[in-house]
Amino acid sequence: MSFVKAHPAAPFTPGYPAQKHLFCVRSSGRFASHLADHWALAWGGFDLGLAAALAATAVAVLRRAWWTQVVASVAGTMLISDAWFDVLTARGRMTVTLAVVEALAAELPLALVCFWLALRVDRLMPEQAAD
């Protein structure tokens, strides 16, 4: 189901034409190759953010904090994004294979655990602290 079918008013929202144009331009292959000057910095920053989200999830679970759902959802989303970009930006058969194995064996299962935790935190920790 597309966004337009689910929400008939979507084409009339202020950002819709720009979003539609950006999606069409990016998916057309016009920018199929792009070199980033700060690629290592971007990935390093993302990995630090992912580590912080996972650490915050662990702290939230241990403290039985009310914000456990939020950080677990953030961590799960970041894990899926990391798996997606690791696989799509890998070059060469061995690197792609390694990225797919890492995604299937580590990142995606851990993301599922994070989302499961976010959905079940009320049942798992009924006595949440009022942080």
Torsion of CA 22, 24, 30, 35, to 10 degrees: 40
- Quick one: pLDDT at residue 74? 97
- Quick one: pLDDT at residue 42? 84
What percent of the chain is modeled with pLDDT above 90?
Answer: 53
Of 80, 88, 86, residue with least CA distance to 72: 80
Q: What is the distance between the terminal CA atoms of the chain, rounded to a whole angstrom?
A: 39
Is a pLDDT exceeding 90 seen at residue 128?
Answer: no
pLDDT in tens, 92-120: 999 999 999 999 999 999 999 999 999 98
The domain spans of the chain are: 1-34, 36-124
User: Of the segments 3-7, 20-24, 33-37, 107-111, which one has the largest average pLDDT value?
Assistant: 107-111
Q: What are the start-end ranges of the H helices in the chain?
A: 3-6, 16-27, 39-63, 68-89, 93-102, 108-124
- Quick one: pLDDT at residue 37? 79
- Quick one: pLDDT at residue 126? 64
d(CA 78, CA 51): 10
pLDDT band of 123, cuts 50, 70, 90: confident
- Quick one: pLDDT at residue 93? 94
Which tops the pLDDT comparison, 39 or 124? 39
pTM as predicted: 0.71
